[in-house]
């Protein structure tokens, strides 16, 4: 339905979803399956896939096994490997959008610029890069890994040479014969380095802090196995269960239980010792914080890359760039042709928050000046009819985030059902309920490796020292506690 207001066409619908990654697509699929077709998905790019569309650097793959890292309501017998490459995940998401009939619902090339709550009309008005929208319900599915984090390094903007972020890889830049700097040693860097090191180029890795890396139990699925998955999908369910509970087991490490920390640490350091014989190099690659404080990485190829003649490890951060010279915190200088920033994402302060204005006209980023927070990790006081998927306290260090996303989708479906049955125009969490939830989470976060592990990570908000990104418990507890909507704690206005 289209209305003319102030000479501008406004596209109205009941529900607006921002983003078409796992969160947005999953939400859309479940709405369609429930027979709710009054929604639109706004997508800033021209394709679905979210982080799997944007991240296409060499070597990209997921570090959660594919049979679990996919929708429970749309399993896929065709995964080529235990840990499938990123392109395959992107194809899967495209296929989900297509086969579920979601494509007509997705408005591509619409970057959400500002969403404003109109408390009189009880509607969200959403300004995009290509048109105005309004909706009763606003659902964000922008994820933690949407916008690349660029390090604040002196002179980096004046670097003479090619520079790009891992989530915006420039495939037109040939690395052959070049001097390449890779900044970072996190989940992206460990996948990029082995691929770049294969090329005829000189690579320097700037490592602010070393990573714990454990073996990757990856392998190809044989045609026989794929036939079994096709013929008998219950086998996929069994694999999902097995992988899920193995992941849950590892929560004991994050909880900080000594014997499981030791188990993980022994595995990671044993892997390092097996792969790196040179004691000095091994020392440089040995982390100085507790295992699990930063994301525990999995790779069989990362450490061996450092034994190649064309790879240099600089065990300190990049501090300054002067022309084509990169200077490390330890004062070492490297002349470079290409600088690859594998420096992670703007996760703690997600950019979408700057664009959402609640009841008082305050943007969510300002509202979250002490760190992001949400009741049941999904709704925010002063921001009625807004549901945030994969926002505050929804990240996992030990299991599949798609499981969390599905739990949140179920929650929203419950809330929509409640609103429909009770003729609710606006629903808003009370400040008390939100604060109480956050206090409980804060207590629960104590003694976990994320807070006590002695590292600097993207899981913690520097401004408050609180764990704002991670769900500090089992994944199953998230679903048990936050997967089913209850009106308790909410204020409603009925029509």
Partner 1 sequence: MQISTENEPKKLTVNDVEITYFDSGKQDISDRLPLVMIHGTGGRTDSHFGYLFPLAAQRQRVISIDLAQPKLKSESLSLEHLSAQVMAVVNHVIPDEKITLLGYSLGSVIAASIASAFPKTVENLILIAGWMKTDTHQVMRNQVWKELRKENSEAIKKYMTFCAFSAPFMSNKPIEEMLAAAEMIEINEFVDMQMTLNADIDITEQALDIQATTLVIGCTFDQMVPKHHSKQLYSVIKDARYAEVASGHAVVFERPAELVQLIDNFTQNPQKHEAGEIIPALRP
Q: Minimal distance in Å, beta carbon 172 to partner 1?
A: 41
Q: Does 244 bind partner 1 (CB under 8 A)?
A: yes
Cα 429 from Cα 412, distance rounded (Å): 13
Q: Does 249 bind partner 1 (CB under 8 A)?
A: yes
Long-range residue pairs from 171-174, CB within 8 A, at least 24 positions apart, any chain: 171/56, 173/338
Task: Measure CA 192 to chain center.
Answer: 18
By the 8 A CB rule, do 347 and 469 touch? yes
Nearer of residues 59 and 397 to partner 1, judged by Cβ: 397
Identified binder of partner 1 from the candidate list 117, 471, 474, 490, rule CB under 8 A? 474
Q: Does 241 bind partner 1 (CB under 8 A)?
A: yes
Identified binder of partner 1 from the candidate list 57, 79, 83, 251, rule CB under 8 A? 251
Nearer of residues 259 and 277 to partner 1, judged by Cβ: 259
Stretch that binds partner 1, among 91-99, 145-153, 249-257, 346-354 (CB under 8 A): 249-257
**Which residue is associated with the tokens 């009106």?**
487
Nearer of residues 423 and 447 to partner 1, judged by Cβ: 447
Nearer of residues 232 and 237 to partner 1, judged by Cβ: 237
Q: Does 65 bind partner 1 (CB under 8 A)?
A: no
Q: Does 74 bind partner 1 (CB under 8 A)?
A: no
Q: Does 39 bind partner 1 (CB under 8 A)?
A: no
Q: Minimal distance in Å, beta carbon 233 to partner 1?
A: 12
Q: Does 488 bind partner 1 (CB under 8 A)?
A: no
Q: Does 476 bind partner 1 (CB under 8 A)?
A: yes
Nearer of residues 168 and 480 to partner 1, judged by Cβ: 480
Q: Minimal distance in Å, beta carbon 464 to partner 1?
A: 20
Identified binder of partner 1 from the candidate list 452, 456, 484, 486, rule CB under 8 A? 452
Identified binder of partner 1 from the candidate list 47, 218, 225, 248, rule CB under 8 A? 248
Q: Helix or strand or coil: residue 284?
A: helix
Q: Minimal distance in Å, beta carbon 190 to partner 1?
A: 25
# of chain residues touching partner 1 (CB under 8 A)? 35
Q: Does 258 bind partner 1 (CB under 8 A)?
A: yes
Nearer of residues 191 and 482 to partner 1, judged by Cβ: 482
Buried b (16+ CB within 10 A) or exposed e, 139-153: bbbbbbbbbbbebeb
Nearer of residues 108 and 249 to partner 1, judged by Cβ: 249
Q: Is 227 exposed, middle or buried (0-12, 13-18, 19+ CB in 10 A)?
A: exposed
Stretch that binds partner 1, among 5-13, 208-216, 332-340, 468-476 (CB under 8 A): 468-476
Residues 271-290 that bind partner 1 (CB under 8 A): 290
CB-based contacts of 447, cutoff 8 Å, min separation 6: 255, 256
By the 8 A CB rule, do 204 and 181 touch? yes
Q: Minimal distance in Å, beta carbon 305 to partner 1?
A: 27
Q: Minimal distance in Å, beta carbon 410 to partner 1?
A: 12
Cα 152 from Cα 483, distance rounded (Å): 38
Task: Give the strand pairing for 8-18 and 460-461.
Answer: unpaired
DSSP one-letter string for 121-135:
TTEEEEEETTEEEEE
Buried b (16+ CB within 10 A) or exposed e, 367-404: bbeebbbbbbbbbbbbbbbbbbbbbbbbbbbbbbbbbb
By the 8 A CB rule, do 22 and 87 touch? no
Nearer of residues 140 and 393 to partner 1, judged by Cβ: 393
Q: Does 261 bind partner 1 (CB under 8 A)?
A: yes
Stretch that binds partner 1, among 138-146, 201-209, 372-380, 474-482 (CB under 8 A): 474-482
By the 8 A CB rule, do 313 and 190 touch? no
Q: Minimal distance in Å, beta carbon 436 to partner 1?
A: 13
Nearer of residues 124 and 450 to partner 1, judged by Cβ: 450
Identified binder of partner 1 from the candidate list 4, 6, 259, 280, rule CB under 8 A? 259
Question: For residue 208, how many C-alpha atoms fall within 13 Å in the half-sphere facing its CB?
Answer: 17
First and final C-alpha spacing in the chain: 21
CB-based contacts of 128, cutoff 8 Å, min separation 6: 42, 107, 110, 111, 112, 113
Query: Which spans in 232-361 are helix H?
Result: 234-249, 251-254, 258-275, 279-284, 302-305
Using alpha carbons, select from 180, 183, 207 the residue that is nearest to residue 315. 207
Nearer of residues 169 and 221 to partner 1, judged by Cβ: 221
Q: Does 72 bind partner 1 (CB under 8 A)?
A: yes
Alpha carbon separation from 431 to 7, 152, 214, 484 (Å, rounded): 37, 35, 42, 20
Sign, CA dihedral 322-326-328-332, equals negative
Q: Minimal distance in Å, beta carbon 86 to partner 1?
A: 22
Q: What is the per-residue binding string for partner 1 in 424-443, x denoting contact by CB under 8 A?
A: -------------------x
Q: Minimal distance in Å, beta carbon 64 to partner 1?
A: 11
- Applying CB under 8 A, which residues contact partner 1? 68, 72, 237-238, 240-242, 244-245, 248-249, 251-252, 255-261, 290, 400, 403, 443, 447, 449, 452-454, 474-477, 479-480
């Amino acid at each position: 339905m289209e209305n003319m207001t102030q000479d501008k066409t406004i596209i109205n619908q009941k529900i607006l979803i921002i983003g078409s990654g796992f969160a947005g697509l999953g939400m859309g699929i479940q709405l369609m399956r429930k027979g709710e077709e009054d929604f639109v998905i706004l997508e800033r790019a021209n394709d679905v896939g979210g982080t799997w569309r944007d991240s296409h650097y060499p070597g990209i793959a997921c570090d959660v096994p594919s049979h679990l890292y996919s929708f429970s309501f749309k399993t896929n017998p065709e995964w080529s490997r235990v840990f499938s490459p990123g392109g395959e995940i992107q194809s899967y998401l495209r296929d989900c959008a297509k086969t579920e009939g979601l494509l007509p619902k997705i408005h591509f090339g619409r970057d959400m610029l500002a969403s404003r709550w109109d408390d009189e009309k009880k509607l969200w008005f959403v300004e995009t890069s290509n048109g105005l929208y309004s909706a009763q319900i606003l659902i964000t599915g922008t994820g933690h890994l949407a916008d690349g984090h660029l390090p604040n390094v002196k002179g980096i903007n004046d670097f003479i040479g090619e520079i790009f972020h891992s989530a915006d890889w420039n495939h037109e830049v040939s690395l052959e014969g070049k001097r390449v700097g890779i900044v970072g040693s996190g989940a992206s860097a460990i996948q990029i380095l082995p691929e770049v090191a294969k090329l005829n180029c000189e690579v320097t890795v700037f490592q602010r802090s070393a990573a714990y890396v454990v073996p990757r139990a990856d392998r190809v699925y044989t045609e026989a196995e794929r036939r079994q998955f096709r013929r008998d999908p219950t086998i996929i369910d069994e694999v999902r269960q097995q992988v899920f509970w193995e992941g849950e087991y590892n929560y004991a490490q994050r909880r900080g239980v000594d014997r499981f920390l030791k188990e993980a640490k022994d595995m990671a350091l044993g892997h390092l010792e097996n792969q790196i014989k040179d004691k000095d190099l091994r020392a440089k690659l040995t982390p100085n914080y507790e295992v699990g404080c930063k994301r525990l990485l999995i790779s069989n190829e990362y450490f061996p890359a450092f034994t190649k003649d064309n790879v240099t490890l600089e065990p300190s951060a990049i501090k300054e760039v002067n022309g084509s010279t990169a200077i490390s915190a330890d004062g070492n200088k490297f002349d470079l042709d290409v600088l690859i920033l594998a420096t992670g994402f703007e996760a703690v302060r997600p950019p979408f928050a700057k664009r959402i204005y609640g009841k008082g006209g305050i943007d969510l980023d300002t509202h979250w000046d002490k760190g992001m927070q949400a009741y049941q990790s999904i709704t925010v006081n002063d921001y009625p009819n807004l549901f945030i998927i994969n926002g505050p306290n929804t990240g996992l260090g030990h299991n599949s985030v798609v499981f969390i996303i599905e739990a949140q989708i179920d929650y929203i479906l419950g809330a929509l059902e409640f609103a429909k049955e009770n003729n609710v125009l606006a629903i808003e969490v009370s400040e008390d309920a939100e604060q109480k939830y956050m206090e409980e989470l804060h207590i629960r976060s104590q003694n976990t490796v994320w807070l006590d592990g002695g590292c600097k990570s993207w899981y913690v908000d520097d401004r408050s020292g609180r764990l704002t990104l991670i769900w500090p418990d089992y994944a199953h507890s998230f679903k048990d506690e936050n997967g089913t909507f209850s009106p308790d704690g909410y204020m409603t206005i009925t029509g």
